[in-house]
Amino acid sequence: MPVRVVESNTPAQVSGTDPWNRLPLPPSSLLGAGQAFSGTQNVSNQQKEEAWRVNVQIQGIDLEHGYLCGTMEALNVPMADTPVITFWEGEIVDGKNYTFYTGKWEATREDDMRHWSKFPSFSPLQGQVESDGGRQLDLSNYPYIFMRWKEQYFVNVGTDCGLTIAGFYYVCFSCSDGSISGFYYDPNSSPFQKLELKTVNEGRSGFSFSSYELQ
């Protein structure tokens, strides 16, 4: 959620059927409803270095349909008087419901490859993805889960808060330690803003957000 330039209310969509009839990705003990993560988002630009503290919590996950959702809380946003909470929906890249090609949100295939290739764990997959979007890859036992997170609305502030949710995040989740890395994409914002998160409540305890009612 970088500084506002433009806004978009494009909803996430579940697409297509699975011609290969593959099973969904296996659940990870560190990626489930109630799991929380904490870290930073680097929002630096040519004028200054800046990073926001960020908390994320998973609210729901449906591996069969490649879907998850959650909240994101940015804590030290200079232009906001309070932490800024957004609700996001995510697409899990499984080759069944979603591929590595976004196909919306102003992201071209070239944009997709530029962002996915930032993740070292994507390198072994890149050739197949460039061929067919990764539809024939078997990701069921891959030690990383790739996702897109799209913020849908502000939870506790108005749209005049000075931030934008027009873009989305390319996300890579490590199944081994629960760490998350991501890059924010919005053609009207600073490129490659990096999100870095670590799990903070293995076993779903020891961390909680401020109390806000979701719509």
* Cβ-contact 73, 84 below 8 angstroms: yes
Q: Any residues with CB less than 8 A from the CB of 179 and at least 6 apart, and which?
A: 173, 196, 197, 198, 199
Mean of pLDDT values over 114-129? 96
What mean pLDDT value characterizes the chain? 82
Helix spans in the chain (H): 109-116, 126-132
The residue behind tokens 């998350």 is 180
Q: How does residue 2 score in pLDDT terms, banded at 50, 70 and 90? A: low
**Global pTM value:** 0.81
Half-sphere exposure of 91 (CA within 13 A, CB side): 23
* Encoded tokens for 136: 């024939």
Q: Is residue 208 scored above 50 in pLDDT? A: no
For 132-144, write each residue's pLDDT tens digit.
888 889 998 899 9
pLDDT at position 66 over 50: yes
Q: What integer is the mean pLDDT of 73-85?
A: 85
Count of other CB atoms within 10 angstroms of residue 79: 10
Token pair 């290739």 is found at 117
CA 21/CA 36 separation, integer angstroms: 32
**pLDDT at residue 205 is higher than 70:** no
Dist. CA 67–CA 137, nearest whole Å: 19
Residue 24 amino acid letter: P
Per-residue pLDDT tens digits for 28-55:
678 899 999 999 998 866 566 778 899 9
Whether the Cβ atoms of residue 181 and residue 198 lie closer than 8 Å to each other: no
**What's the rounded Cα separation, in Å, for the pair 204 and 202?**
5
How far apart CA 79 and CA 76 sit, in angstroms, is: 9
Percent with pLDDT over 70 in the chain:
77
